[in-house]
Structure 1
Amino acid sequence: MDTPIVPVAVEPLAARRNVTVLTNQIRILNLNVDRPSVVQYLGQIPAGKLEIALLHALEVGIVEVQRPPRRT
């Protein structure tokens, strides 16, 4: 008789996140963005290029956030 495989730990549905950082990727599920500037920018991008445009915007934003503060 085979023993059924049962998960050791299952994250409760209520605790699941829309953004999950994995080893080599980020998984984004059911993410709603209601920032007008983001909606306006991405609304101008053709549907076939939305994914790469969003990825590029994330990369640019991360570089900007990581940049040391400018001295005035």
Structure 2
Amino acid sequence: MTGVDLDAKCSRAGCRAEAHWRIEWRNPRIHAEDRRKVWAACDEHREFLRDYLAAREFPVSVAPLHPTPEPS
């Protein structure tokens, strides 16, 4: 997984909580279609950070920081 350390802290200013979410986004005015930026988010700030980016009309997706393995 590129862009986020698996022991990442939340990207919200002033928050040092452990991140559980991966927020991928891009600014279409300056980033190519294949370029993605990644923020990490704790449970408390996941929606705040997603909404912040969505309000700017940036393509954004949210996924668990640590995907759960598929059962065998």
What range describes the TM-score normalised by the shorter chain of this pair? Answer: under 0.3
- Higher RCO, 1 or 2 (CA under 8 Å, sep at least 6)? 2
Bigger radius of gyration among the two:
1
**TM-score, with normalisation over the residues of structure 1?**
0.27
**TM-score, with normalisation over the residues of structure 2?**
0.27
Looking at secondary structure, tell me which structure has more helix per residue: 1
